[in-house]
A and B are shown apart, each in its own frame.
Chain A
Amino acid sequence: MDAILLQVLNGLDKGSAYALIALGLTLIFGTLGVVNFAHGALFMLGAFCAVTLQKILTISFEVVDPTRLDFLGNPLKVKTPYVVSWFGEAAGNGIIAWSVPLAILFAIPVMIAIGFAMERGLIKHFYKRPHADQILVTFGLAIVLQEIIKYFFGANPIPTPAPPAFTGSFDFGVLLGFDPNVIIYPYWRLVYFAFSAVIIGCVFAFLQFTTFGMVVRAGMADRETVGLLGINIDKRFTIMFGLAAAVAGVAGVMYAPINSPNYHMGMDFLVLSFVVVVVGGMGSLPGAVLAGFLLGILESFASMNEIKSILPGIDQIIIYLVAIIILLTRPRGLMGRKGVMED
């Protein structure tokens, strides 16, 4: 029982990341009809927003300490961040330690701007082209973005720790009447799950309860008719692209303490997120979220030693296996709409 609860928890945070990326993918596909293979790269860029802010906050001035030597035997240059110098040691180090949550504020405008630039500069030229062209161009764009990040930040993962208040883990076992240390879970992963739930809720509320969202939903259902009513749907869809980029970006920011960011991290999520979108149903936002959590939890269960001892390697194929079964039994996915990608 304890092992099952632990894997459910594991699946929830993995599912949160899948759901957030898949949500953005579905938004773009549902509004613009574009299959965006660069969406994983947006997640990666978000994580690097956290890295960038951390680097900005740790920009330092050097003071030579003649009493200590560096590796070449020269007097050691001691680095002190300007933030520490300006705000004092406690406050300055506190700001640096909270760089990941602060990076959300940094990432939102940056990612919206990147989203606008991508959509206006490149992707709008491919709206009427076949999906194969869209996949090729966005996949190429993802590789370009990866290489740019690698050029500036290197290929190695960059440690981006969570604030000290969220290090360590919470003992769920004690809460549920189990022995101590049986079901423990890192605080930051709980924060990530809660954060994802809030973001998903905000996106749904935005689409459901605002006039802008209503028009976008109408456009997703029938773009031509909305256009005939004199509404500039293209402009709204561009804004939705920026919003989807921001969702992917903040998902990446908050994921940075879980997996140290590296230039390839977007690709690691991209393929699985597409499977999530297809399983959830192309164009279905609730489907994307449902499939994200479902597949995240299934993947965690498949990693259990008890299951792997019966079915070796099942953890590597479970998502694809489930996808095949669902698509055979429900060809439009769990919550797919009729007519989407069927013409």
Chain B
Amino acid sequence: MIKSHLTRRGVLKTGSVAGAGLAVPTIFTASSAAAYTNEPTGNTVTLGFNVPQTGPYADEGADELRAYELAVEHLNGEGDGGMLNTFTSKALTGNGILGKKVAFVTGDTQTKSDAARASAKSMIEKDGAIMITGGSSSGVAVAVQGLCQEAGVIFMAGLTHSNDTTGKDKKANGFRHFFNAFMSGAALAPVLVKNYGADRNAYHLTADYTWGWTQQESIQAATEALGWSTVNNVLTPLASTDFSSYIAPVLNSGADVLVLNHYGGNMVNSLTQAVQFGLKDKMVNGKQFEIVVPLYSELMAKGAGASIKGILGSTNWSWTLQDEGTKAFVKSFGTKYGFPPSNAAQTCYAQTLLYADAAERAGTFNPCGLGAALEGFEFDGLGNGPTLYRAADHQCFKDVLVMQGKQDPTSEYDALEIVEVTPRAQVEYSPEHPMFAGGELGSCNPGA
């Protein structure tokens, strides 16, 4: 007869010792095989391009993807090199990144936060992407940035303009080249006052989500600081297509300026309908009624057609700039695709080069080493003039463009013209500015 000596305490003790024994080699293996998430071991390195391929911003996503493919070509030494030739940092030589050929995978954000996180997660876990970049919405950028922070990979934001991306939602693993709502307000307000006078009453229609809120707050603060009054701010649902019932009350509000804090399809529809209501032709308070669109995009301007003529707004970059970086990029992009790039394309191209350059300078793909190389980095030659990647919040500081709808465009890509290049000093702010308060950058996470 066999007598069993199994006791509860004995099983627990044995189990914990065995568990620890099994765990130790795993921990050692992890630290010795990979010092950070998706450390490249072969002769290629994989980048993850997470852009809207379906949904309302699919055209913008397609332009971002074109720019990424062009950047990969240039990094691998193909094509004419584009802005590699004008970039002030000379770390990149067209030999991939750190000697590894650049490959890429793509994901579809659908401009939905959950879908964007799922596609980013899949690219990190299944495809081994070492960096995630792209997107056309601040809601998506904030969501994916949070995921990348947790996963231990770098996130190089695409088109995201909300103050929150590098404000209350900033993360150590996230970096934004694109400008933000505060900068739009700071650049645009003086031009508005110069063109329309300091004694103006503004009525705001604002898209009801993170970007709309921060855009409205920024442009209101900037214009009020220069003498304007704000009559009302009405939040409009993101899903709205007919804005007539929001526009009609503007007529009797005493306002003489309508500020449309809308982007994408919202902007196209609200602007078109405001023009249909004849607002641009009205005289109110003895002044010509004016419409303002704080954030412009070339693709949206195209969608608004003739309604855009004479309307002031701001952009991160324009293909019509005449610096050497812009000319090189427009030539590469235009030759390959047959039309000029959008400012979404430019920021995505620049972000890819900046990531690759930081890896070369740091000598590693480790997000902590690479992030340190980006922090405080000063550069030029990527189309925006002298630019600083500020260490405190991972926001790029550079000149901002004030644009106006062109009266006599020569082609469908020529809807906007530059009114003013606002110098970087005018759009700078403290990292502790109240509009950016509430979040912590934290420390970088290499994952693994």
| Interface residues in B48-81 (C-beta closer than 8 Å to A) | 54-59
Bound together, the chains give a CA A296 to CA B318 distance in angstroms of 41
**Interface-forming stretch among A157-165, A277-285, A330-338?**
A157-165
Q: Among B282, B284, B304, B334, point to the contact of A159 (Cβ < 8 A).
A: B304
Digitize A159-188: 1 where CB-to-B-CB distance is under 8 Å, 0 elsewhere: 101000001110000000000011111101
By the criterion CB–CB under 8 Å, are B58 and A155 in contact?
yes
By the criterion CB–CB under 8 Å, are A264 and B242 in contact?
no
State how many angstroms separate the Cβ of A34 from the closest Cβ of chain B. Answer: 27
State how many angstroms separate the Cβ of A13 from the closest Cβ of chain B. Answer: 7
Q: Kindly state whether residue A55 has any CB partner on chain B within 8 Å.
A: no
Bound together, the chains give a CA A299 to CA B340 distance in angstroms of 42
| Interface residues in A139-171 (C-beta closer than 8 Å to B) | 150, 154-159, 161, 167-169
How many chain-B residues does the 8 Å CB contact rule pick out? 49
State how many angstroms separate the Cβ of B164 from the closest Cβ of chain A. Answer: 22
By the criterion CB–CB under 8 Å, are A184 and B277 in contact?
yes
Q: Kindly state whether residue A86 has any CB partner on chain B within 8 Å.
A: no
By the criterion CB–CB under 8 Å, are A265 and B284 in contact?
no
By the criterion CB–CB under 8 Å, are B56 and A262 in contact?
yes
Q: Kindly state whether residue B232 has any CB partner on chain A within 8 Å.
A: yes
- B248: A residues at CB distance < 8 A: 3, 6-7, 9-10
| Interface residues in A212-271 (C-beta closer than 8 Å to B) | 257-260, 262, 264-265, 268
By the criterion CB–CB under 8 Å, are B245 and A260 in contact?
no
- A2: B residues at CB distance < 8 A: 252
By the criterion CB–CB under 8 Å, are B239 and A3 in contact?
no
- A6: B residues at CB distance < 8 A: 248-249, 251-252
State how many angstroms separate the Cβ of A332 from the closest Cβ of chain B. Answer: 29
By the criterion CB–CB under 8 Å, are A159 and B306 in contact?
yes
Q: Kindly state whether residue A76 has any CB partner on chain B within 8 Å.
A: yes
With CB as the reference atom, state the residue of chain B lying closest to A300: B245
Q: Kindly state whether residue B272 has any CB partner on chain A within 8 Å.
A: yes
With CB as the reference atom, state the residue of chain B lying closest to A9: B248
Q: Among A68, A159, A169, A184, point to the contact of B303 (Cβ < 8 A).
A: A159
Give the number of A-B contacts (CB < 8 Å). 125
- A185: B residues at CB distance < 8 A: 277
By the criterion CB–CB under 8 Å, are A156 and B249 in contact?
no
Contacts A184-B278, A305-B232: A155 and B245 contacting too (C-beta < 8 A)?
Answer: no
- B54: A residues at CB distance < 8 A: 150, 155
By the criterion CB–CB under 8 Å, are A181 and B284 in contact?
yes
State how many angstroms separate the Cβ of A149 from the closest Cβ of chain B. Answer: 12
With CB as the reference atom, state the residue of chain B lying closest to A70: B411
Q: Kindly state whether residue A304 has any CB partner on chain B within 8 Å.
A: yes
- B277: A residues at CB distance < 8 A: 169, 184-186
Chain A residues with CB under 8 Å of chain B are 2-3, 6-7, 9-11, 13-14, 68, 70-72, 76, 150, 154-159, 161, 167-169, 181-186, 188-189, 257-260, 262, 264-265, 268, 299-300, 303-305, 308, 315-316
Query: 29 interchain pairs (CB within 8 A)?
Result: A2-B252, A3-B249, A3-B252, A6-B248, A6-B249, A6-B252, A10-B244, A72-B331, A72-B335, A76-B410, A154-B59, A155-B55, A155-B56, A156-B265, A156-B268, A157-B268, A159-B304, A161-B306, A168-B278, A181-B282, A181-B283, A186-B273, A186-B276, A186-B278, A257-B276, A259-B241, A260-B269, A300-B244, A315-B237
